[in-house]
Amino acid sequence: MKTIIQKLDLDNFITNFKNFYARDKSIEMMGDINQHYRYISALSTVEFPTTKDVPNLDNELNRIKKQGILRLEEIYSFMLIVSYFNTLKALSLPEPLGKWIREIDTPDEINDILLYFSDEGGLNTQRIPELYDIEKAIKINRASIKESLYKMAHSSKLKDYLVDTQVHFLNGEETLLVRGGFNKVLKASVVGRTSGGFFYILPQSISHLKEKESNLLSQKEELIYRYCQTFSITLNKYYLFIRFINREFDRFDHYQARIQFARSYDYQFILPSKKKNIKIHEFCHPAIDNPVPITINLDKSVMLVTGVNAGGKTMLLKSLLSAVYMSKNLLPFRCNAQKTEVGHYKSIEAVIDDPQSVKNDISTFAGRMVEFAKLFDKENAIVGVDEIELGTDSDEAASLFRVMLDELRKKGITFIVTTHHKRLASLMSGDDDVELIAALYNEERREPTYTFLQGSIGKSYAFETAQRYGVPEYIVNRAKKLYGEDKENLNELIEKSTTLEREMRLKIQKIDEELKAVERKKEDLDSIEDRLNEKHRKAIATLENRYNAATKRALEAIKVKESTEGRRLLNSAYKHKEKSKQAQEVEQPNKVILKVGDRVKYRSSKGELLSIKGKEATIEVDGLKMRVPLSQLKQIGVIPKIKSKSKTNITIEKSGRGAISIKLLGCFADEAIDKLDRFLSDALVNGFSEVEIIHGTGTGVLKKVIINYLKSYPKLQSFYGQKGNLGITIVKL
């Protein structure tokens, strides 16, 4: 019986993927898929060393548990895993991957075993002097054997019997190839014989060297066995760690194989969502060379696919099920990941093949009934059914399958169904939870397009398909006549309906694109307006700063009785002030009319519009009232109108030519600063040495604003609060 992988044509895809494993295993990963996805996402952002091939070590683990002695290559396989994790620890890995790797604490005794191995998997002779001496002796002995054979091969007495002067290896032995009669000049044992009647011989003169080599090799094997015995005892001592790291290596192997596979084929990972829907965008089934990318949305419990023969209906069904299967196992595939969403389903079923079997004495339709009967025991599944009415009368099957589909939907099963018959489509077309899909056909080129239209029933184009695949035209015409004009007219109506709907959707898509373009232009214009307003505001601020600076210079000049220069500077200041007023009076076209209660934006601050007086407005930002130019406000919404506080008049007490105190009780922040600036200027001009500012206590906001202003005001010696009255500040000039 075919597996789901074979039914969905994913055999080669899975085989190619498994080639990236360090050792063969199932593609399923146990545990939390969301956690697996986080680790894969983290690992995919960095470069990591390639894993070496490692065999399955389950049997070796059982032998360690039973205190068995492993062979050197088996111990080395475990050391490869330990060495790889040590390499990963040396890397700077992103979280949560880094935390996982760091928490793998390898015992020192296991790391010590690792030092006894060379990169090729043999014992490290630099670590074991005794082994070094043995291998050196073997090397010298083999050189002696080779030298002896070379001298014999070039000796004059053996010259007539030699076939060639090469040293031949036969069954691991160094031999010479000679003709018959060699025993007249040389004592040797025959190791082998060629088909041509020649002999491979081992001269007796080097037999003592061969015996020495055999002894050395035996010593080496005994030494290796002793170390294997010692290493196996240590592995048994840390059996739980060895079992743990072997399991963790499989887990990492799952991750690295998926990432390397995705990088090699430019595939994307899709984490299954909790929703019961499938939205694939530019999906390409891996079994198809040069496929037409599929973009389709399944958010209903039944998708009914109709339309042209050989038009991709079955491949659409397999593509949707494949997307679910691959995302369920976190296998990457080709798609637009930003626009693709695949739901999670408990199981995947594909009713695709013809179940007819002579062996089991079962018909096509009976086999389909057996497969459908099994579905009543399932829940939360996604099922693909190809040619649903296969094997029986289509009208009877349509009624039967309609009822079964309705009942199975109640168990949370989602269906993708293909059919050529209109009866089932017409029975289910009125159901809001059924998505109709039509496979499209190119009338001009007389071939399928392998594209699909949602919300429509497709024509089968059986006659056109038969003619395209070589059936004579006169046969097709006779079949059309027998089919009947009324049914052909029905097919034409279906095709016209499909064409009109396709054209309508293209027009809607074009209008949507134009609307988005208009919205983008509007956003650009708003951005330009904001930049111009900010530029205008900065220009006004520059002119006002110049006016204030010129005024201060004029007052200082007047104070030192430089009256002529003072008047000139005042005239210059008034010119800057006039330019500032003119700049503020520039009107902007299509300006929104503001009213009290509007939510407004002033520079980078947002607040409420409290009142409007001429070309100035009063706003409240974070509990602080401000008087600002009306032209610099921008409406951002409307809020319920709040009654503003009544304005308190400012009273200035005068003594002689100027005032020595000022009352700012109840003033707005900007209004208070403006009055205070003129008050201090007059005090300086009149030569006062000390003045008082009456601001009250209240919430403390007004006092804070005044203190901040005094800190930056020039020509002040000091200021302080009046003793016994926190509502008055004394300023020394």
Q: Which tokens is 485 given?
A: 């004009």
What pLDDT is attached to residue 135?
93
Locate tokens 């009076």: which residue? Answer: 585
Question: What single-letter amino acid sits at 701?
Answer: V
Residues in the chain: 733
What is the helix (H) or strand (E) element at residue 679, kind and residue range? helix 669-685
State yes or no: pLDDT of 330 exceeds 70.
Answer: yes
pLDDT of 40 higher than 90: yes
Least confident of 322-336, 337-351, 455-469: 455-469
Residue whose tokens read 């009368």: 393
Q: Which amino acid is at 157?
A: K
pLDDT at 530 > cutoff 50: yes
Both tokens assigned to 556: 């200082």
| pLDDT digit string, tens, across residues 155-174 | 888 888 888 888 888 887 88
Please report, as a single letter, which amino acid is at residue 286. P
Helical axes 129-153 vs 207-237, angle rounded to 10°: 150
Q: What does pLDDT average to over the chain?
A: 82
pLDDT reading at 279 higher than 90: yes
Task: State how far the Cα of 401 lies from the Cα of 396, in Å rounded to an integer.
Answer: 9
pLDDT, residue 644, reads 43
Cα pseudo-dihedral 409, 412, 415, 421, rounded to 10: 0
Are residues 619 and 626 in contact, defined by beta-carbon separation less than 8 angstroms?
yes
The pLDDT assigned to 631 comes to 81
Going from the C-alpha of 191 to that of each of 114, 170, 214, 494, 611, the distances in angstroms are 41, 8, 17, 86, 116
Number of H helices, E strands in the chain: 20, 23
Residue 688: pLDDT over 90: no
Instruction: Report the candidate in 449, 424, 450 with the shortest Cα–Cα distance to residue 436.
Output: 424
Tokens 């008050």 correspond to 679
162 strand-pairing partners: 178
Q: What is the mean pLDDT of residues 98-106?
A: 93
pLDDT interval class at 508 (50, 70, 90): confident
Cα Dmax for the chain? 150
pLDDT at 173: 82
Q: Is this structure's pTM higher than 0.95?
A: no
245-258 mean pLDDT: 96
Alpha-carbon torsion (387, 348, 435, 495), positive or negative: negative
For residues 300-328, average pLDDT: 86
Give pLDDT, residue 700. Answer: 81
pLDDT at 642 over 50: no
Report the C-alpha gap between 212 and 341 in whole angstroms: 71
For the stretch 573-614, pLDDT in tens is 666 666 655 655 554 445 568 888 888 888 767 888 888 888
CB 692 within 8 A of CB 730: yes
263-272 pLDDT tens trace = 999 999 999 9
> If pLDDT is split at 50, 70 and 90, which confidence band does 311 have?
low
Please say whether the structural domain 129-224 has been given the CATH code 3.40.50: no
Fold of 278-473: Rossmann fold (3.40.50)
Q: How confident is the model at residue 725 (pLDDT cuts 50, 70, 90)?
A: confident
Q: Domain spanning 592-645: which CATH class is it, in words?
A: mainly beta
pLDDT at 37: 95
Half-sphere exposure of 350 (CA within 13 A, CB side): 23
What class has domain 652-732? alpha beta
Contact criterion met (CB below 8 Å) for 695 and 727: yes
Confidence of residue 523 (pLDDT cuts 50, 70, 90): confident
Distance CA 171, CA 163 (A): 19
Q: How far is CA 683 from CA 165, 337, 692, in A?
A: 123, 72, 11
556 pLDDT higher than 50: yes
The confidence score (pLDDT) of residue 532 equals 85
Question: What are the pLDDT digits (tens) for 204-234?
Answer: 888 888 889 899 999 999 999 999 999 999 9
pLDDT value of residue 243 = 96
Q: Are 72 and 122 in contact (CB under 8 A)?
A: yes
Which range of 171-185, 424-438, 563-577 scores highest in mean pLDDT? It is: 171-185
Q: Tokens for 522, please give them.
A: 């509007």
The CA angle 197-198-203, to the nearest 5 degrees, is: 145
557/563 Cα distance (integer angstroms): 7
Structure tokens at 676: 């205070």
Q: pLDDT band at residue 80, thresholds of 50, 70 and 90?
A: very high
Q: Quote the pLDDT of residue 354.
A: 64
Question: Is there a contact between 406 and 368 (Cβ–Cβ < 8 Å)?
Answer: no
Backbone φ, ψ for residue 374 (5° rounding): -65, -25
What's the CA gap between 466 and 477, in Å, rounded?
Answer: 11
Whole-angstrom Cα distance, residue 72 to residue 122?
8
Q: Is the pLDDT of residue 650 over 60?
A: no
pLDDT tens-digit profile of 171-210? 878 888 988 888 888 888 888 999 888 999 888 888 888 8
* pLDDT value of position 555: 65
pLDDT digits (tens, 9 = 90+) for 458-490: 555 555 556 656 677 777 677 666 655 545 544
Mean pLDDT of 506-532: 83
Q: What is the mean pLDDT of residues 239-261?
A: 96
Distances from the Cα of 696 to the Cα of 663, 666, 726, 729, angstroms = 9, 9, 7, 9
Domain ranges (residues) in the chain: 4-107+238-265, 129-224, 278-473, 592-645, 652-732
Residue 376: count of CB within 10 angstroms of its CB: 12
- Omega of the bond leading into 55 within 30 degrees of 0 (cis): no
pLDDT band at 491 (very low <50, low <70, confident <90, very high): low
Place of tokens 């220009």: 539
Confidence of residue 501 (pLDDT cuts 50, 70, 90): low
Q: What is the DSSP string of 162-220?
A: BS-SPPEEETTEEEEEE-TTGGGT--EEEEEE-TTS-EEEEEGGGHHHHHHHHHHHHHH
pLDDT, residue 331, reads 96
Q: Residue 569's pLDDT is what?
A: 61
**Is residue 3 predicted with pLDDT exceeding 80?**
yes
pLDDT at 647 over 60: no
% of the chain surpassing 70 pLDDT: 79
Q: Is the pLDDT of residue 692 over 80?
A: yes
Taking CA atoms, 54 is separated from 101, 247, 254, 650, in Å, by 19, 13, 14, 90
Give backbone dihedrals phi and psi of 429, rounded to 5 degrees, phi first: -65, -25
CA distance 711 to 144: 100
